[in-house]
Amino acid sequence: MRTTSAHDTPHDARKLLGIYLNDHLAGATAGVDLMQRSAKSHQDSPLGPQLERLAREGAQDRESLKEIMRSLDVPERRSRAALGRLVEKAGRLKLNGRLFSRSPLSDVLELEAMRLDVQGKASGWLNLRALAQRDDRIDTARLARLLERAEEQAEMLEELRTRCAVRTFATGHAAATAGHPKGHHPKPRGTF
């Protein structure tokens, strides 16, 4: 399968790889910032230890990406990393049902965003693994470990997201039917 056109040059491919990896670095920066903020918000909750682990591993993965970029002679564009931080901060302005404070929906949305970040990271590792077939500067054993860890992180985030979603969305229904016989739900006022 041909991935370049007749007009592409090695310089173009190198430039495109630089853009791609710097975009992944920006995403990693935003993801780590979100994970660290979320871990801090939950330091005294049951989610705390898992979120701290994810934040620590995310920071290690970002450093691995920087090392891979150096091995490929791809310069780090600090402006892109700064953009990643700005995107993460803008993500805090989401509609969560509360104007100035966290809501239970904040946890669900943040866990979804973290899972998407990890899936993007895994895609990046997969693309680098494919490139490694043509570029011996890429350590395939390291990529295999990074990919395995990303898959574990995605599984952990999916489990946390599911638990938070059930807790967040089922609570209202459970509260509304509490004290009523199973299968009997009170009718809202004003209905027949």
pLDDT given at position 16:
95
Q: What is the mean pLDDT of each run of 10 residues along the chain (192 residues)?
A: 54 91 94 94 92 98 97 86 55 49 80 96 97 95 97 97 92 50 44 31
Q: Are 61 and 121 in contact (CB under 8 A)?
A: yes
pLDDT given at position 105:
84
In the block, tokens 């791609």 appear at 20
Local structure of residue 4 (DSSP, 8 states): S
Report how far residue 30's alpha carbon sits from residue 26's, in angstroms, rounded to the nearest whole number.
6
pLDDT given at position 99:
46
pLDDT given at position 106:
85
pLDDT given at position 104:
74
